[in-house]
Amino acid sequence: MKTEPILPGATIGCLGGGQLGRMFALAARKMGYRVHSVDPTPDSPTGQISDREFNVPFTDIPTLLEFASGVDVVTYEFENIPVIALDALAPKVALRPGRDVLYTTQNRRREKEFLEKNHFPVAPFRVVQSEEELRAAVTALGCPCVLKTADFGYDGKGQQKISAESDLAVVWQKHGAPVGVVESWITFAAELSVVVARGLNSITGEHVVQSFPPTVNDHENHILATSIAPAPLASSILARAQSIAADIATRLDVVGLLAVEFFLTKRGDLLVNELAPRPHNSGHYSFDACVTSQFEQQLRAVCGLPLGDTRLLSPVLMRNLLGDVWANGTPDWPALLALPGLRLHLYGKSEPRVGRKMGHYCVLSPSLEQAWELDAQAQKILRG
């Protein structure tokens, strides 16, 4: 179906006030759009960049309808938005990606069942709703395995590794939720991710898919620490990851962005780990190192504009900056910024806490080896 483009000068609505929304709003403002945002917390990272900020819970339907009346399209920067809010907005304003995309991906059970039903590669899993079902799942999948919550899981939260020595009664009690997903434990060779955009060509009415270069990711304490591009893996593996990501975006009928996280097994198989229908932490490198950033691409996609060029302009290393960096006071930003090729991004969060994402930096260099060397210097500066 043909859709007219939403041109610069229009107003974009963003659900969520975190750093992803902030960087999206920066990209929108750069291209001449206005931005309205909704987040319960005043002075949120996104709110600081917005023309108007609605500080209400996502269940405040009258305010959401007021918000909808002042924008031309609505997108979001995190998944945990109540379906009641989406159902209220969808009849009033274009919601991109759509309600069903968010509904599927905000729940691990629905996400895994969607992937399995559509024959995408995933680790073996079982849905459990009692201690007895947990015991049966562990018997079927073997140990080690992992029990995950169905809702609100990110950065390793809501996950318990199960070994042969685990007391399953204690595991289930600690789980504390009516539903869980038990997955086989995957010993992987690498973790990688692909951010893919699926837009709507306003001239032909056809959907167009464009992938960003995949990244190899390293996690510390279940939180993304670094992402590097170009990913130092075989081109056949990278092409396969991009193809799978594009197929998932098409099957989900995404209009916007979809991030697909993969495990690469030691046998060379790719398994889909998680989906996120929004910009992704592992795609931050694109802000500095690609012709078009993931945030501008999200804007182009939801506005029905041509998708941008995703070519990588330079090898790049992205590192998250957590609140731990502030343990000895404000970091030495001047010394950090003196490093050649380093680009600093801070999110405007007032309170640094251990494990809280406060910012990131990207190191652009002629090679990844040189980028790692500069990163090591940056880490020495940040450790004081």
CB atoms within 10 A of CB 38: 31
Which pLDDT score, from 0 to 100, does residue 1 have?
41
Residue 290 has pLDDT above 90, yes or no: yes
Q: pLDDT averaged over the chain?
A: 95
Of 220, 186, 245, 260, which Cα lies nearest the Cα of 355? Answer: 220
Q: 172-196 pLDDT, tens per residue? A: 999 999 999 999 999 999 999 999 9
Residue 138 has pLDDT above 60, yes or no: yes
Residue 206 has pLDDT above 90, yes or no: no
Asked whether 16 and 39 are in contact (CB, 8 A), the reply is: yes
Asked whether 364 and 343 are in contact (CB, 8 A), the reply is: yes
Asked whether 2 and 25 are in contact (CB, 8 A), the reply is: no
148 - beta bridge partners? 159, 181
The tokens for 38 are 């909704």
Phi, psi of 270 (to 5 degrees): -100, 130
Which pLDDT score, from 0 to 100, does residue 28 have?
98
- Biggest alpha carbon–alpha carbon distance for the chain: 61
pLDDT grade for 352, boundaries at 50, 70 and 90: very high
What is the rounded distance in angstroms from the CA atom of residue 16 to the CA atom of residue 14? 6
SS3 194: strand
Which pLDDT score, from 0 to 100, does residue 154 have?
59
Distance of CA 58 to the CA centre of its chain: 20
Residue 51 has pLDDT above 90, yes or no: yes
Of 61, 111, 52, which Cα lies nearest the Cα of 91? Answer: 61
In terms of C-beta density within 10 A (0-12 exposed, 13-18 middle, 19 or more buried), how is residue 11 classed? middle
Asked whether 168 and 135 are in contact (CB, 8 A), the reply is: yes
Which pLDDT score, from 0 to 100, does residue 146 have?
96
Asked whether 67 and 54 are in contact (CB, 8 A), the reply is: yes
pTM, two decimal places = 0.95
Percentage of residues in the chain having pLDDT higher than 90? 92
Half-sphere exposure of residue 59, counting CA atoms within 13 Å on the CB side?
Answer: 2
Residue 155 has pLDDT above 60, yes or no: no
Which pLDDT score, from 0 to 100, does residue 207 have?
85
Of 81, 71, 80, which Cα lies nearest the Cα of 50? Answer: 71
Angle at alpha carbon of residue 111, lines to 110 and 114, rounded to 5° = 85
Residue 213 has pLDDT above 80, yes or no: yes
Query: Which alpha helices (DSSP H) does the chain contain, by range?
Result: 19-30, 61-69, 83-89, 99-105, 108-117, 131-141, 168-175, 235-252, 286-289, 294-302, 333-337, 368-382
CB atoms within 10 A of CB 299: 28
Choice among 17-26, 124-133, 154-163, 225-234 with the minimum mean pLDDT: 154-163
Of 379, 344, 305, which Cα lies nearest the Cα of 297? Answer: 305
What is the rounded distance in angstroms from the CA atom of residue 113 to the CA atom of residue 375? 40
Which pLDDT score, from 0 to 100, does residue 175 have?
94
What is the rounded distance in angstroms from the CA atom of residue 113 to the CA atom of residue 309? 33
Residue 95 has pLDDT above 80, yes or no: yes
Distance of CA 280 to the CA centre of its chain: 3
